[in-house]
Amino acid sequence: MKTANAFSLRLRDPRYYQIAVLSLLLTYGVAVLDFGIRSQNALLIVVTALAVQFAGTMYSKLPRFDPLSPLITSLSLTLLLRTDMASVAVLAACMAIGSKFLLRIRGKHIFNPANFALVSLMLLSDHAWVSSGQWGSAAIGAFTLACLGFLVLTRAKRAETTIAFIAFYGAMLFGRAIWLDDPFSIPLHQMQNGALLIFAFFMISDPKTTPNTALGRIFYAALVAAVAYTIQFIYYQPNGPILALIMCAPVVPLIDNLLRGRIYRWEQAAEEKIGQIKGVF
Protein backbone atom coordinates (compact mmCIF):
# COMPACT_ATOMS: atom_id res chain seq x y z
CA MET A 1 0.00 0.00 0.00
CA LYS A 2 2.75 2.31 0.99
CA THR A 3 4.62 1.56 -2.23
CA ALA A 4 1.52 2.21 -4.31
CA ASN A 5 1.04 5.55 -2.57
CA ALA A 6 4.62 6.50 -3.21
CA PHE A 7 4.25 5.59 -6.88
CA SER A 8 1.11 7.62 -7.32
CA LEU A 9 2.79 10.52 -5.53
CA ARG A 10 5.62 10.33 -8.03
CA LEU A 11 3.29 10.40 -10.99
CA ARG A 12 1.67 13.52 -9.64
CA ASP A 13 5.02 15.26 -9.43
CA PRO A 14 5.05 17.46 -12.56
CA ARG A 15 8.79 17.33 -12.71
CA TYR A 16 8.72 13.92 -14.37
CA TYR A 17 6.73 15.41 -17.24
CA GLN A 18 9.01 18.38 -17.34
CA ILE A 19 12.09 16.17 -17.59
CA ALA A 20 10.45 14.16 -20.36
CA VAL A 21 9.53 17.27 -22.35
CA LEU A 22 12.92 18.91 -21.92
CA SER A 23 14.65 15.69 -22.97
CA LEU A 24 12.43 15.54 -26.03
CA LEU A 25 13.31 19.11 -26.93
CA LEU A 26 16.98 18.39 -26.45
CA THR A 27 16.77 15.34 -28.70
CA TYR A 28 14.92 17.36 -31.34
CA GLY A 29 17.44 20.17 -31.10
CA VAL A 30 20.43 17.92 -31.44
CA ALA A 31 19.04 15.50 -34.02
CA VAL A 32 17.01 17.79 -36.26
CA LEU A 33 18.22 21.33 -35.71
CA ASP A 34 21.92 20.56 -35.34
CA PHE A 35 22.39 22.76 -32.32
CA GLY A 36 26.07 22.41 -31.78
CA ILE A 37 25.52 21.16 -28.25
CA ARG A 38 28.55 19.24 -27.10
CA SER A 39 27.67 15.95 -25.46
CA GLN A 40 30.69 16.26 -23.20
CA ASN A 41 29.37 19.58 -21.88
CA ALA A 42 25.88 18.16 -21.41
CA LEU A 43 27.26 15.27 -19.38
CA LEU A 44 29.46 17.57 -17.30
CA ILE A 45 26.50 19.80 -16.52
CA VAL A 46 24.34 16.87 -15.36
CA VAL A 47 27.05 15.25 -13.25
CA THR A 48 28.12 18.53 -11.65
CA ALA A 49 24.54 19.60 -10.92
CA LEU A 50 23.79 16.29 -9.21
CA ALA A 51 27.03 16.45 -7.23
CA VAL A 52 26.37 20.00 -6.04
CA GLN A 53 22.80 19.08 -5.13
CA PHE A 54 24.15 16.17 -3.11
CA ALA A 55 26.66 18.39 -1.34
CA GLY A 56 23.93 20.97 -0.70
CA THR A 57 21.64 18.28 0.71
CA MET A 58 24.35 17.30 3.17
CA TYR A 59 25.18 20.90 4.03
CA SER A 60 21.57 21.91 4.61
CA LYS A 61 20.83 18.62 6.41
CA LEU A 62 17.86 17.87 4.18
CA PRO A 63 16.10 14.54 4.79
CA ARG A 64 16.72 13.15 1.32
CA PHE A 65 18.65 13.69 -1.90
CA ASP A 66 16.34 14.83 -4.68
CA PRO A 67 17.77 14.39 -8.19
CA LEU A 68 14.76 15.77 -10.12
CA SER A 69 15.28 19.51 -9.74
CA PRO A 70 19.00 19.46 -10.58
CA LEU A 71 18.15 17.31 -13.58
CA ILE A 72 15.64 19.89 -14.81
CA THR A 73 18.14 22.68 -14.25
CA SER A 74 20.77 20.68 -16.15
CA LEU A 75 18.45 20.17 -19.10
CA SER A 76 17.47 23.85 -19.20
CA LEU A 77 21.13 24.85 -19.06
CA THR A 78 22.07 22.39 -21.79
CA LEU A 79 19.26 23.68 -24.01
CA LEU A 80 20.08 27.35 -23.58
CA LEU A 81 23.74 27.72 -22.70
CA ARG A 82 26.30 27.67 -25.49
CA THR A 83 29.95 27.54 -24.63
CA ASP A 84 33.17 26.40 -26.19
CA MET A 85 34.77 25.63 -22.82
CA ALA A 86 34.07 22.60 -20.64
CA SER A 87 35.02 24.60 -17.54
CA VAL A 88 32.24 27.12 -18.26
CA ALA A 89 29.73 24.27 -18.43
CA VAL A 90 30.91 22.95 -15.04
CA LEU A 91 30.85 26.43 -13.54
CA ALA A 92 27.31 26.96 -14.86
CA ALA A 93 26.04 23.84 -13.11
CA CYS A 94 27.83 24.79 -9.85
CA MET A 95 26.44 28.33 -9.88
CA ALA A 96 22.93 27.20 -10.76
CA ILE A 97 22.55 24.61 -8.04
CA GLY A 98 24.72 26.51 -5.56
CA SER A 99 22.48 29.57 -5.88
CA LYS A 100 19.50 27.52 -4.67
CA PHE A 101 21.22 26.73 -1.40
CA LEU A 102 22.98 30.01 -0.80
CA LEU A 103 20.72 32.77 -2.09
CA ARG A 104 17.52 32.40 -0.11
CA ILE A 105 14.93 34.63 1.50
CA ARG A 106 12.31 33.26 3.88
CA GLY A 107 12.61 29.63 2.80
CA LYS A 108 12.58 30.36 -0.95
CA HIS A 109 15.49 30.67 -3.30
CA ILE A 110 15.54 34.00 -5.07
CA PHE A 111 16.70 33.14 -8.57
CA ASN A 112 15.68 30.48 -11.01
CA PRO A 113 18.87 28.39 -10.90
CA ALA A 114 19.43 28.01 -14.65
CA ASN A 115 18.60 31.68 -15.21
CA PHE A 116 21.06 32.79 -12.53
CA ALA A 117 23.89 30.74 -14.03
CA LEU A 118 23.15 31.80 -17.60
CA VAL A 119 23.08 35.50 -16.90
CA SER A 120 26.08 35.49 -14.53
CA LEU A 121 28.24 33.64 -17.02
CA MET A 122 27.14 35.76 -19.96
CA LEU A 123 28.13 38.85 -18.00
CA LEU A 124 31.37 37.43 -16.63
CA SER A 125 32.72 35.56 -19.60
CA ASP A 126 33.03 35.83 -23.36
CA HIS A 127 32.72 32.08 -23.53
CA ALA A 128 29.05 31.80 -22.63
CA TRP A 129 26.17 32.86 -24.83
CA VAL A 130 22.58 32.01 -25.68
CA SER A 131 21.70 31.23 -29.29
CA SER A 132 18.14 32.44 -29.24
CA GLY A 133 17.70 32.21 -33.00
CA GLN A 134 18.76 28.60 -33.26
CA TRP A 135 15.27 27.20 -32.84
CA GLY A 136 14.10 28.83 -36.01
CA SER A 137 10.57 30.09 -36.29
CA ALA A 138 8.75 27.27 -37.97
CA ALA A 139 5.18 27.75 -36.82
CA ILE A 140 4.57 24.07 -36.34
CA GLY A 141 7.65 23.72 -34.20
CA ALA A 142 6.52 26.61 -32.04
CA PHE A 143 3.07 25.17 -31.73
CA THR A 144 4.40 21.81 -30.63
CA LEU A 145 6.67 23.43 -28.11
CA ALA A 146 3.80 25.43 -26.72
CA CYS A 147 1.56 22.41 -26.33
CA LEU A 148 4.21 20.28 -24.74
CA GLY A 149 5.08 23.05 -22.35
CA PHE A 150 1.49 23.59 -21.52
CA LEU A 151 1.19 19.99 -20.50
CA VAL A 152 3.89 20.54 -17.94
CA LEU A 153 2.22 23.64 -16.67
CA THR A 154 -1.23 22.25 -16.24
CA ARG A 155 0.33 19.46 -14.22
CA ALA A 156 2.11 22.08 -12.17
CA LYS A 157 -1.19 24.00 -11.84
CA ARG A 158 0.58 27.31 -12.13
CA ALA A 159 0.01 28.10 -15.78
CA GLU A 160 -0.94 31.73 -15.14
CA THR A 161 2.67 32.96 -15.02
CA THR A 162 3.33 31.64 -18.52
CA ILE A 163 0.00 32.74 -19.95
CA ALA A 164 0.32 36.19 -18.43
CA PHE A 165 3.90 36.60 -19.67
CA ILE A 166 3.01 35.55 -23.22
CA ALA A 167 -0.07 37.78 -23.19
CA PHE A 168 1.74 40.88 -21.91
CA TYR A 169 4.84 40.41 -24.05
CA GLY A 170 2.73 39.62 -27.12
CA ALA A 171 0.57 42.69 -26.48
CA MET A 172 3.68 44.87 -26.36
CA LEU A 173 5.08 43.40 -29.58
CA PHE A 174 1.78 43.85 -31.40
CA GLY A 175 1.37 47.30 -29.86
CA ARG A 176 4.78 48.25 -31.19
CA ALA A 177 3.86 46.98 -34.65
CA ILE A 178 0.68 49.08 -34.59
CA TRP A 179 2.61 52.14 -33.49
CA LEU A 180 5.21 51.65 -36.23
CA ASP A 181 2.56 50.69 -38.77
CA ASP A 182 4.49 47.49 -39.40
CA PRO A 183 2.84 44.37 -40.81
CA PHE A 184 1.75 41.84 -38.18
CA SER A 185 4.11 39.31 -39.73
CA ILE A 186 6.85 41.04 -37.71
CA PRO A 187 5.44 40.54 -34.18
CA LEU A 188 4.26 37.08 -35.20
CA HIS A 189 7.77 36.23 -36.26
CA GLN A 190 9.10 37.61 -32.99
CA MET A 191 6.67 35.46 -31.01
CA GLN A 192 7.54 32.32 -32.97
CA ASN A 193 10.92 32.16 -31.34
CA GLY A 194 11.76 28.81 -29.80
CA ALA A 195 13.98 30.30 -27.14
CA LEU A 196 11.21 32.71 -26.08
CA LEU A 197 8.75 29.84 -25.72
CA ILE A 198 11.22 27.72 -23.77
CA PHE A 199 11.73 30.69 -21.50
CA ALA A 200 8.00 31.20 -21.04
CA PHE A 201 7.18 27.57 -20.42
CA PHE A 202 10.19 26.30 -18.56
CA MET A 203 11.91 29.20 -16.89
CA ILE A 204 9.57 32.00 -15.82
CA SER A 205 7.01 29.36 -14.87
CA ASP A 206 9.27 27.89 -12.18
CA PRO A 207 6.86 27.70 -9.21
CA LYS A 208 9.68 27.88 -6.69
CA THR A 209 10.83 31.34 -7.74
CA THR A 210 7.54 33.03 -8.59
CA PRO A 211 5.18 34.75 -6.13
CA ASN A 212 2.99 32.55 -3.96
CA THR A 213 -0.34 34.00 -5.07
CA ALA A 214 -1.97 33.93 -8.50
CA LEU A 215 -2.42 37.71 -8.53
CA GLY A 216 1.22 38.13 -7.55
CA ARG A 217 2.33 35.86 -10.35
CA ILE A 218 0.33 37.77 -12.97
CA PHE A 219 1.79 41.04 -11.75
CA TYR A 220 5.25 39.50 -11.79
CA ALA A 221 4.81 38.19 -15.35
CA ALA A 222 3.74 41.65 -16.50
CA LEU A 223 6.80 43.16 -14.86
CA VAL A 224 9.18 40.65 -16.50
CA ALA A 225 7.50 41.23 -19.88
CA ALA A 226 7.88 45.01 -19.56
CA VAL A 227 11.54 44.79 -18.58
CA ALA A 228 12.23 42.24 -21.33
CA TYR A 229 10.63 44.55 -23.88
CA THR A 230 12.69 47.49 -22.64
CA ILE A 231 15.93 45.52 -22.93
CA GLN A 232 15.10 44.15 -26.34
CA PHE A 233 13.47 47.10 -28.07
CA ILE A 234 14.65 50.21 -26.26
CA TYR A 235 18.21 49.22 -25.39
CA TYR A 236 18.48 46.83 -28.34
CA GLN A 237 20.25 44.09 -26.42
CA PRO A 238 19.70 40.40 -27.11
CA ASN A 239 18.20 37.92 -24.62
CA GLY A 240 15.77 40.44 -23.13
CA PRO A 241 13.51 37.92 -21.33
CA ILE A 242 16.38 36.01 -19.72
CA LEU A 243 17.97 39.22 -18.46
CA ALA A 244 14.62 40.58 -17.34
CA LEU A 245 13.87 37.54 -15.21
CA ILE A 246 17.02 37.89 -13.15
CA MET A 247 16.47 41.62 -12.74
CA CYS A 248 12.91 41.11 -11.52
CA ALA A 249 13.59 38.11 -9.27
CA PRO A 250 14.41 40.23 -6.16
CA VAL A 251 10.91 41.74 -6.42
CA VAL A 252 9.30 38.35 -5.66
CA PRO A 253 9.82 38.54 -1.86
CA LEU A 254 8.26 42.03 -1.91
CA ILE A 255 5.23 40.78 -3.81
CA ASP A 256 4.94 37.87 -1.40
CA ASN A 257 5.08 40.33 1.47
CA LEU A 258 2.13 42.21 0.08
CA LEU A 259 0.16 39.20 -1.10
CA ARG A 260 0.57 36.28 1.25
CA GLY A 261 0.16 32.72 -0.03
CA ARG A 262 1.49 29.22 0.38
CA ILE A 263 5.01 28.28 -0.71
CA TYR A 264 4.86 25.86 -3.59
CA ARG A 265 5.85 22.26 -3.02
CA TRP A 266 6.35 19.92 -5.94
CA GLU A 267 4.55 17.14 -4.14
CA GLN A 268 1.69 19.49 -3.17
CA ALA A 269 -0.94 17.40 -4.94
CA ALA A 270 -0.30 14.50 -2.63
CA GLU A 271 0.35 16.47 0.53
CA GLU A 272 -3.07 16.03 2.02
CA LYS A 273 -2.68 12.30 1.94
CA ILE A 274 0.76 11.89 3.34
CA GLY A 275 1.21 15.08 5.25
CA GLN A 276 3.99 17.65 5.07
CA ILE A 277 7.15 16.65 3.35
CA LYS A 278 10.09 18.35 4.85
CA GLY A 279 12.29 19.68 2.11
CA VAL A 280 12.85 22.73 0.13
CA PHE A 281 13.01 21.45 -3.43
Partner 1 sequence: MRIFATVIAAALTVVITATAQAFCGFYVARADTSLFNKASQVILVRDDNRTVITMANDFEGEVKDFAVVIPVPTRIEREQINVGDRAIVEHLDAYTAPRLVEYHDPDPCMRYEYLKSSQDRAVPQATVAERERKVARSLGVTIEASYTVGEYDILILSAEDSGGLIRWLTDNEYKLPKGAEKVVDSYLKQDMRFFVAKINLEEQSKLGYQFLRPLQVAYESNKFMLPIRLGTLNAKGKQELYVYALTRTGRVETTNYRTVKLPSDTEVPEFVQGEFAEFYRAMFEKQVEKENERAVFLEYAWDMGWCDPCAADPLSSDELRKLGVFWVGDSAERSKIAPQAQNVFVTRLHVRYDSKHFPEDLVFQETGDRQNYQGRYIIRHPWKGEASCDISSYQADVRKRQEREAQALANLTGWDIDDIRSKIPFPDDTPPPPTDPWWKRLWG
Restricting to residues 173-212, which ones interact with partner 1 according to CB under 8 A?
179-183, 185-186, 188-190, 193
- Judged by CB under 8 A, the stretch of 58-66, 94-102, 123-131, 155-163 that binds partner 1 is 123-131
Beta bridge partners of 128: 83
Indicate the residue among 39 and 185 with the shorter CB distance to partner 1. 185
109 is an interface residue for partner 1 by CB under 8 A: no
The contact pattern for partner 1, residues 132-161, with x = CB under 8 A and - = no contact, is: xxxxxxx-----------------------
| In the complex, least distance from residue 182 CB atom to partner 1, rounded to whole angstroms | 5
In the complex, the smallest distance separating the C-beta of residue 166 from partner 1, rounded to whole angstroms, is: 18
Q: Closest separation between CB of residue 180 and partner 1, Å?
A: 4
Q: Which of residues 239-258 bind partner 1 (CB under 8 A)?
A: 239
Q: In the 3-class helix/strand/coil scheme, how is the chain assigned residue by residue?
A: CHHHHHHHHHHHCCHHHHHHHHHHHHHHHHHCCCCCCCHHHHHHHHHHHHHHHHHHHHHCCCCCCCCHHHHHHHHHHHHHEEECCHHHHHHHHHHHHHHHHHCEECCEECCCHHHHHHHHHHHHCCCEEECHHHHCCCHHHHHHHHHHHHHHHHHHCCCHHHHHHHHHHHHHHHHHHHHHCCCCHHHHHHHCCHHHHHHHHHCCCCCCCCCCCHHHHHHHHHHHHHHHHHHHHHCCCCCHHHHHHHHHCCHHHHHHHHCCCCCCCCCHHHHHHHCCCCCCC
Answer yes or no: are the C-beta atoms of 209 and 112 closer than 8 Å: yes
Between 182 and 271, whose beta carbon lies closer to partner 1?
A: 182
- Whichever of 60 and 131 has its CB closer to partner 1, that residue is 131
Residue number, 95 or 152, with CB nearest to partner 1: 95
Taking the complex as a whole, the smallest distance from the CB of residue 252 to partner 1 amounts, in Å, to 28
Residue 271 is a binding residue for partner 1 (CB under 8 A): no
205/239 with CB nearer partner 1: 239
Shortest Cβ 209–partner 1 spacing (Å): 25
Least separation in angstroms between CB 41 and partner 1? 13
Report, in Å, the least distance between residue 172 CB and partner 1: 15
Assess 238 for contact with partner 1 (CB under 8 A): yes
Task: State the virtual CA torsion across 105, 265, 95, 101 in degrees, nearest 10.
Answer: 50
CA–CA separation, 131 and 145 (whole Å)? 17
Q: How many residues bind partner 1 (CB under 8 A)?
A: 34
Task: Name which of 209, 201, 198 is nearest 116 in CA terms.
Answer: 209
**Residues forming the site for partner 1 (CB under 8 A):** 33-34, 82-84, 125-129, 131-138, 179-183, 185-186, 188-190, 193, 235-239
